Structure 1
Amino acid sequence: MCSIEPSHKTSGFQHQHRRNHQPHITTMCQICSIKEAAAKERWPKPVEASKKDLIFLVDSIHTEYIQYNNVKRSTPNAPPPDALLDLCRMLSDQLDALEVDREAWWTSPEKRAMRQRLEADLDQKRLSALHKINNSCIESIEGLSAKLGGFVKWSLNMNGGVWELMNGHKVAGA
């Protein structure tokens, strides 16, 4: 698991007190939280198949981001490298593809027939479970997209979030 140590600005006594009496505190890297969240979720099989690609992209983004952070220490106004931005765009596209896969799964003839059969049989428990899986998958994908938006905004200083990530280079080049 990735972690980044928060900076504490305290006086000597307070710092010594914290060091001796509180456990070492770390926070999770914003981009790695996407991987952690995706790993916890269980998605329908067609969507689940894309999880490895998603995790690979997050790992690649993390590596590029660490390199970018090292550059920012010596050059605070350094823009994010194109490789990092391209990987973030790929992750955004991957999340869009997950939603397309989920929609295809939900609207497939097999699932439609299953829902109709469960409705006809008045099997509300299984029908409810099926809807719960679909709704959970929707929420999960939206949550992952929001985490990417937060990373882009706060870690890459792109106030336009994912929209700026996806379209900013087009506007800047015009």
Structure 2
Amino acid sequence: MLDIISLGIVPFLVIVIVVHGYLKKVDIYDAFTEGAFEGLKTAFKIIPNLIAIFIAIGIFRSSEALDMFIDLVRPITHLLRIPEEILPLIFIRPLSGSGALGLVRDIISHYGPDSLLGITASILMGSSETIFYTMALYFGSIGVKDHGHTLRAALLSYVVSIFIIMLLIRYLVCLDC
């Protein structure tokens, strides 16, 4: 049943939009081309921001900066009982969704989906956002240049979410850890 619904939902929505436009006496083709043109303008506005963030992510990942940063914070994360294998995911997730997904895949294939590390990686991946990419995309599309307060709030909420996730995992998944 779900297969039939999924096959028919897009044509159904197209028909509903066309009928609604006809009843409201809207020139659907003109509205479509106008919307496509606006979408292209938005895409051209955000391309420089996306190129900048992708280059920065590439430089960060290809350099040894991630490893050096992990070595720097390892004593703190050890005190907080954050698993060392999760640290790369914690630092890559705000930067790159695909990079974080690759790390989750590696953790799950190496430790298993039901392991403490697999569960932790899955929860981290599902409950956080690629902060820098999202900000570049949305703020770039509307032309916002000053986004310092948003960045600080987003990073603070990300750090708080990491502590909450670690507490939840410790008390709900791994009672004896």
State whether TM-score is above 0.5. no
Determine which structure has the larger helix proportion and give its number: 2
| TM-score, length basis structure 1 | 0.31
| TM-score, length basis structure 2 | 0.31
Using CA pairs below 8 Å that are at least 6 residues apart, which structure has the higher relative contact order?
1
